[in-house]
Amino acid sequence: MHQLTPREIVSELDKFIIGQNDAKRMVAIAMRNRWRRQQVPPELRDEISPKNIIMIGSTGVGKTEIARRLARLSGSPFFKVEASKFTEVGYVGRDVESMIRDLMEIAVNMVRTEEMEKVKVKAEKQAEERLLDLLYPPTQQPRGSVIAVGTQPGSAQAVESGESTREKLRTLWRQGKMDDRQVELEVTEQSGTQIGVMAMPGMEGMENQVRDMMGQLFPKKRKQRKMNVREAYEQLLMEESERLVDMDKVIEIAKERVEQSGIVFLDEIDKICSSTASRGAGTADVSREGVQRDLLPIVEGSVVNSKYGMINTDHILFIAAGAFHLSKPSDLIPELQGRFPLRVELSSLHKEEFYRILTEPQNALTIQYKALLATEGVDLVFADEALLEVAAFAQTINEETENIGARRLYTILEKILSDLSFEAPDKSGQQVIVDREYVLRHLEDVTRNRDLSRYIL
C-alpha cells in the first residue's frame, strides 16, 4: 500500500466503482496520509490524528463499497457496523466499544491466516507424514511379506522393507489414488453444552471472556472418528498449521495493525442525530445524543479493553456515512463534528452511471451472470441496447419509488433472467442473446402495471 500514490489508489478503485470521484480522492488522501505519518519523526508521529471522513449520500451510491475496497486494497482490518445498532450505556443494545473488539477479532483472523500461509509448506509435509503413519504405522510389517531366516523385525532389512512400502503409499497418495480409503483419526470433540452468561448493558464483552475462561477449565475431549483419507489430510493440515503458528505473535501483529491501520465504517450515522426541528419540538430520542457521546471518546482516541489486551483507538480511521435526508452533519454534537474534518457528498446515479456499472467494473453484474450460467453450458450474451434499456428502467423506477441507487439493478436483472436461470440446465450448449425485445418482454407486466412494479422491483 505504501507504494501507491493517491492517483494510483483512485485508479484501483475505478476498477470496481463507477463515478464518485470526489469521494475516491478523499479516501485516497486519507490512506496516503497514514503512510506519510509513518515517515515523520517519532516525536511528531503520535500527534498526527487520522483524517476521519463523513460520506453523505443516499443508499446504493457506493459509500460502503468505496470503504470496503479501500480496506482490501490496503490490507487493513475493516469492520462495518450500523450506528443505529448502538444504544447509550444503560439501555438495552450494543455497546459502542464492541466495534473495536470486533475489529480486533477480524485482525486476529486475518493475521492467523497469513501466518498459516507462511508455514503451509512445512505443515503439508508434517501432515503427510502423520497421514502415512495412519496408513502404515512405522512398527507394522508389510502384509504378506516374507522375512528371511535370521532377520529380526527391527533389523536393517525389515526397516528397509517398511520404508519401501511407505514410499509406495506416499506415491499413491500424491497421485490421488487413496482419497476414498477410510482411516481412523483422533479428533477434538466440540463441547455439546454452551455456557450462557447474562451480560449487563455496556458489558457485553464480559460474556465472551467468561465463556473463554470456562472453556479453559474443562479439558477438550478427544475421540476416534472414521473418515476418508482426503478429509483426514485436511484435518491434519489444519492441526499442524495451528501448531506451527505462534498465537502470541499473531495477537501482537494484529493489535499493531488495528491500532495503526484499522478502518471502522460507521453506516447510518444520520440515524443517531436529530434535526433541529425535532429537537425544538421535544421529540428527539434521548438515547441518540447519548450514543454520540459514547462514540466520542472512541473516535477521539481512548483505550478499549478486550480479551486480547488493551487497544488504543487514537489512529484508527473512522469513515461515517449517512443519507442525511431528515438531518444534516451539523446536527451531530459539536465535539463529534470536530472529529470528522473531511466531508464529501456522493452524487445520485442516473442512466449513464447505471450503464457503466453494468459494463465497466471487473465484477460487473453482467459478468457475474455470464459466469453463473456458463457453469450450465449456456453462453449468455448481453446486447448494448438491452443494457441501455435496463439502465433507463432502473432510473425510472428509482424516481417513481424509493431511490435505492445501483441496488435496483439487482432486482431488475433478476426479474429479466429468472426464467433463463430456471431453464438453464435444459439449454446446455446453447447461446442466449439478451436484446432489447428480450428485456421488454420480461418486464412487460411491471411496465404496464406501475403499482405492481412497486412491489416486484
What's the confidence (pLDDT) of residue 193? 46
In angstroms, the CA 255 to CA 424 distance is 48
User: Domain of 61: which CATH number?
Assistant: 3.40.50.300
C-alpha cell, 394: 432502473
Q: Tell which residue, 254, 267, 263, 268, has the closest CA to residue 306.
A: 254
Do 341 and 273 lie in one domain? The reply is: yes
Do 25 and 99 lie in one domain? The reply is: yes
Q: What is the mean predicted confidence (pLDDT) over 132-160? A: 56
**pLDDT band per the 50, 70, 90 thresholds, residue 376:** very high
Is 1 within the bounds of a domain? no
Do 226 and 331 lie in one domain? The reply is: no
Residue 431, SS3?
A: strand
What's the confidence (pLDDT) of residue 283? 46
pLDDT tens digits, 183-236:
777 777 655 445 555 455 445 555 566 656 656 666 667 777 787 888 888 888
The count of other CB atoms within 10 Å of the CB of residue 299 is 23
Do 392 and 422 lie in one domain? The reply is: yes
Is 216 within the bounds of a domain? yes
List of residues 6+ apart from 104 with CB closer than 8 A: 77, 254, 255, 258, 306, 308, 311
Domain limit, last residue, from 325, 345, 365: 345
Do 335 and 429 lie in one domain? The reply is: no
Q: Tell which residue, 341, 336, 342, has the closest CA to residue 298.
A: 336
152 pLDDT higher than 60: no
Is 39 within the bounds of a domain? yes
* Widest distance between CA atoms in the chain: 104
Structural domains of the chain, count: 3
In angstroms, the CA 147 to CA 348 distance is 83
Residue 200 belongs to domain spanning = 120-142+158-244
Q: Alpha-carbon dihedral of residues 232, 236, 237, 242, nearest 10 degrees? A: 150
What's the confidence (pLDDT) of residue 453? 65
Residue 220, SS3?
A: coil
Is 14 within the bounds of a domain? yes
Which residues partner with 227 through β-bridges? 183
Is 152 within the bounds of a domain? no
Is 153 within the bounds of a domain? no
Domain limit, last residue, from 200, 216, 244: 244
Domain limit, last residue, from 193, 220, 244: 244
pLDDT tens digits, 407-457:
889 989 999 999 999 999 999 899 999 999 999 998 887 777 666 666 666
Which residues partner with 288 through β-bridges? none
Do 173 and 289 lie in one domain? The reply is: no
User: What's this model's pTM, rounded to 2 decimal places?
Assistant: 0.78
Do 97 and 124 lie in one domain? The reply is: no
Residue 304, SS3?
A: strand
Do 109 and 127 lie in one domain? The reply is: no
Grid cell 464518485 — which residue?
A: 20
Angle at 52 between CA 48 and CA 56, to 5 degrees: 160
Do 103 and 163 lie in one domain? The reply is: no
- Burial (CB count within 10 angstroms: exposed 0-12, middle 13-18, buried 19+), residue 85: middle
**pLDDT band per the 50, 70, 90 thresholds, residue 156:** low
Do 104 and 133 lie in one domain? The reply is: no
Rg of the chain in Å (alpha carbons): 29
pLDDT tens digits, 246-268:
999 999 999 999 999 899 999 98
In angstroms, the CA 414 to CA 400 distance is 20
